[in-house]
Amino acid sequence: MRKTRSLIFASALWWVIIGSLCQAAEIPLIKVAKANRVQMISANSFGAKDAVFAFKDNSRIFTFKNISMPLGFPVTKRYGKYHIDSSDYKYHIQPLFPTTKHNYKKLKVIALDAGHGGKDNGTTDKWHNLQEKNLTMDVCSRLAKLLEKKGYRVIFTRSRDQKVSLPERTQIANRAGANLFISVHFNSAPSASASGIEVFTLTPSAQASSYQVSSRNIQRSFVGNTFDTLNIVLGYCLQSSLVEKTSAIDRGVKHSTFVVLRDLKCPGILVECGFLSNYEECTKITSSTYRDALAQAIFDGIVKFDDLLSE
């Protein structure tokens, strides 16, 4: 009995510590490590051997298991100790700890959004005459087969070469009661050397997007922000799986207020599967074996995410 009581006390104390971390404005990394029962590895990294969080002074970019992701605010160093903002702990760090429970029902209905369509070709390449709208549909079709084989129900936001507006894509997923939304795209950049894979989640509530300057004056939030912490976990699961399976350059998880993600009533993500403006990457994408690997990687990431859900 005494043992049970002390266990209850220890567990309550632990949650009080975690609760107080979420309220503090800035938290020393050392406290984050202690509250989550992991060791400091250096002044700016902590975790277990196979799950290390590493931070950089005055930077918003941190890595978790070598995948780079942005915080809302830069890490600061004061009196020799590194600190993170409490909202960054809540949105970005705590959800990724392997011990964190995610209260969200197991996935049943998955919405696949093949980017572009109809008159909107998306980006095109200049060597093989590939059109983004066809490639996104191709990858979504391969992915759907894998998901259906596993027992998920798949719905498409477009089933043929047609133009569907961005808000309508979101509404199709919401009306179908989707538990997860995956938007598939291919990338393009003015610089021919840009290559690699990146995934975008909706920017967490009141935080700056990846390409914005961080600010405490940002107050916006959308329906999709209900799933801020799950979006971050989903982003990590997909990006790590894609980088591992394709050996493409890891451009990291990024955050943006893309229209198609704003009003989702479920966790969602936009995947940029590679650059059609880069000759080597574009040539890889012409191969159906490579597009199979892309679909398989997204599938593995979804299953990894589903495994973390509790209900």
Closest C-alpha to 210, from 221, 196, 199: 199
CB of 294 to Zn ion, least distance (A): 14
CB of 73 to Zn ion, least distance (A): 29
The smaller minimum CB distance to Zn ion, of residues 197 and 233, is found at 197
CB of 27 to Zn ion, least distance (A): 37
The angle, 0 to 180 degrees and rounded to 10, between the axes of the packed helices 288-307 and 228-246 is 140
CB of 282 to Zn ion, least distance (A): 14
Residues 210-249 that bind Zn ion (CB under 5 A): none
The smaller minimum CB distance to Zn ion, of residues 228 and 281, is found at 281
Check if the beta carbon of residue 112 is closer than 8 Å to that of residue 105. Answer: no
Provide the 8-state DSSP code for 203: P
Distance CA 237, CA 235 (A): 6
Residues 30-69 that bind Zn ion (CB under 5 A): none
Residues 176-205 that bind Zn ion (CB under 5 A): 185
Distance CA 66, CA 29 (A): 18
By beta carbon distance, the residue nearest Zn ion is: 185
CB of 120 to Zn ion, least distance (A): 9
Distance CA 105, CA 11 (A): 25
The smaller minimum CB distance to Zn ion, of residues 115 and 224, is found at 115
- What residue spans of the chain are helical by DSSP H? 2-23, 29-35, 86-88, 132-149, 166-175, 228-246, 259-262, 279-285, 288-307
The smaller minimum CB distance to Zn ion, of residues 185 and 255, is found at 185
The smaller minimum CB distance to Zn ion, of residues 95 and 115, is found at 115
Task: List Cα–Cα distances, 231 to 69, 203, 204, 235, 308, in angstroms.
Answer: 12, 9, 9, 6, 13
Question: 10 Å Cβ neighbour count for 272?
Answer: 20
x/- mask, Zn ion, residues 113-132, rule CB under 5 A, reads: --x------x----------
x/- mask, Zn ion, residues 80-109, rule CB under 5 A, reads: ------------------------------
Interface residues toward Zn ion, by CB under 5 A = 115, 122, 185
